[in-house]
Amino acid sequence: MIVISDTSVFTNLAAIGYLYLLQQLYGHILIPTAVYQELTVDPPVFGTVEVKTLQWIEVLSVNDHRMVEQLQNIAQLDLGESEAIALALEINAELLLIDERRGRREANQRGIRITGLLGVLVEAKHRGFIPVVKPLMDNLIATSKFRVSQSLYNQILTIVGE
């Protein structure tokens, strides 16, 4: 399965010590150059060490710079989101991991299958990689300033039977 990740799913999972879920779920993760740069700038963010050392994370360059510029200028996405969407289209990725609302909307409009951090957690529980989701969501909210509406929070708990 070809999976591309934007920055937020990566940094949030790294912040709570669950980045390994991406490898368990998908095996190999591709990130565009801009996402790599976002993860490795000073000061370091969660995931900096991992993106530099883990063999299952691969950095790829985007060829369609026109698409990246269009996503930045017209859709008002940041460089990492723009490159992630452009790369997903270029290599016909099967899944894009992205959380930001505008980026999700643009990816959906272009026919890219997406999931976000909460979708990753739901899948991880369904596949038996984690026993519960609620403490992880609570930890994300407390430690990495992850924002989730109360209704979505409750919906996720219902989906996973917690």
Please tell me what DSSP assigns to residue 143: H
Burial class of residue 111 in the structure, from the number of CB atoms within 10 Å of its CB (0-12 exposed, 13-18 middle, 19+ buried)? exposed
Query: CA-to-CA distance for 70 and 54, rounded, in angstroms?
Result: 32
Whether 20 and 77 map to the same domain: the answer is: yes
* Containing structural domain, residue 8: 3-117
DSSP 67-136: HHHHHHHTS---HHHHHHHHHHHHTT-SEEE---HHHHHHHHHTT--EE-HHHHHHHHHHTTS-S-SHHH
Task: Kindly report the pTM of this predicted structure.
Answer: 0.91
* Each residue's pLDDT tens digit, 48-80: 767 777 889 999 999 999 999 999 998 899 999
Whether 19 and 87 map to the same domain: the answer is: yes
Residue closest to 154 by CA, chosen among 137, 132, 140, 139: 137
pLDDT at 155 over 90: yes
Whether 124 and 145 map to the same domain: the answer is: yes
Taking residues 33-57, report their average pLDDT: 79
Provide the pLDDT for residue 56: 92
Whether 35 and 59 map to the same domain: the answer is: yes
Q: Please count the structural domains in the chain.
A: 2
